[in-house]
Structure 1
Amino acid sequence: MLILSPISLFLDVPRNIFTAVGLPLTAGWYSGSYTKEAVRGTWYKALKFPPGKIENPKVFPIVWSALYIALGYASHLAADAHDNAFLPADIDATSTGIVLYYAQLAMNFAWTPLFFGRKEPEIALVDSAMMTATSIYMTKLLHGPTKGKATWLLVPYCAWVSYVTYLNAGVVYLNRGRYIPKND
């Protein structure tokens, strides 16, 4: 009888380059599918934002798509490094890095429904801060075993989710105590 470990189940998707890239890209498109409508709503338009907010909404699908492709390819590199690892430290680092990959991916996909769907920027901020910290730590863990290749792909993602966390924190801070109806 074949018994699969949880890590082997997590590694199956990124072992294949097409599923590695396809998972975050497809899930990201799905997660962000109603953002376009939400940013036209009265709730979003009533929010105050911190300096540095990108005003052109057409930028976001392009940036997110590129980041999801890079993120997926980095997971493929991590799975490959895991499969070829000899040192126990590299096996541990890639195993933990892959688990963190899925954890931050779940947080990433939860952020849009929390912020735009439920209109709960405070809860979205907690999610975003945890996602950012998880992504940075994941990048650190995968640096050595992938010989820095995953790092080149993940640093822009870490920077972008840090930027999103900054914007989210600014929204929470600048709108505290303000009544903004959530019905559009």
Structure 2
Amino acid sequence: MAEYLRPAFAIILPNLGGFAGLFVTRSNNSRHWYQNLNKPWRPSGGVIGPIWTYLYCTMGYASYLVWRDGGGFNGRARLPLAVFGTQLALNWAWTPIFFGAKKLDLATIEIGALWGAIVATIVTFKPINKTSSYLLLPYLGWISVASCINYYIWRNNKDRQD
């Protein structure tokens, strides 16, 4: 495989799940429901797409660096890449839970698990490639803010009957 295809694949993969999440968030039912929630300050919709694209690209490239420097799936990178895959699955699962199922309590628990999985990914990536762990810090910051927003929405919309 051409050397440039490996990082390209690693970068594209996380974006696929993010793209799939658009179908859930863009449904009329989800939009109307979300607009009527009691929400705190949050980033405008116009910045969310570019931010997530950046974050998905950096997390994908970080995984490539660990795969490359850690000997792939048969080397030292096996555990860090499994942890990465876990956090990516948790990342992709949040949107259908929050917007699709409208389970604010479960989404709050899930995003907490995601936060922990991101920390674990950073910790396991660092011994193999420090740059890869640093690339994930903006992602951790973004999920920290998102967790606070998610928690606020859950706490202030508990009595809703949707």
The TM-score range, normalised by the shorter chain, is 0.7 to 0.9
Which of residues 13, 19, 37 is equivalent to 1:23?
13
Q: Which residue of structure 1 aligns with residue 55 of structure 2?
A: 67
The superposition leaves residues 1-45 of structure 1 with CA deviations (integer Å, 9 ceiling, x where unpaired) of xxxxxxxxxxxxxx911211111012211123331345631x212
Q: Which residue of structure 2 aligns with residue 5 of structure 1?
A: none
Q: Secondary structure at the match of 2:148?
A: helix
Deviation at 1:116?
Answer: 0.4
Which of residues 120, 126, 136 is equivalent to 1:143?
126
On the 8 A contact 1:114/1:124 being kept in 2, the answer is yes
Distance in 2, matches of 1:180 and 1:63, equals 32
Confirm whether residue 163 of structure 1 aligns to residue 145 of structure 2: yes
- TM-score, length-normalised on structure 1? 0.78
Matching of residues 1-184 of structure 1 within 5 Å: 16-37=6-27, 40-41=31-32, 43-50=33-40, 52-54=41-43, 56-83=44-71, 91=76, 94-146=77-129, 148-176=130-158, 178-181=159-162
On the 8 A contact 2:38/2:153 being kept in 1, the answer is yes
Distance in 2, matches of 1:168 and 1:141, equals 27
Deviation at 1:96?
Answer: 1.8
Identity of aligned pairs, percent? 26
Give the CA RMSD over aligned residues. 1.9
How many corresponding residue pairs? 155
Larger radius of gyration: 1
The superposition leaves residues 77-126 of structure 1 with CA deviations (integer Å, 9 ceiling, x where unpaired) of 01012118xxxxx92xx322110110011111110011001111111111
Q: Which runs of 5+ in 1 are unaligned?
A: 1-14, 85-89
Q: Secondary structure at the match of 1:33?
A: helix
The superposition leaves residues 51-97 of structure 1 with CA deviations (integer Å, 9 ceiling, x where unpaired) of x312x21111110000000010000001012118xxxxx92xx3221
Structure 1 moving runs of 4+ over 6 Å: none
Q: Which amino acid aligns with 2:108?
A: L
On the 8 A contact 1:46/1:180 being kept in 2, the answer is no
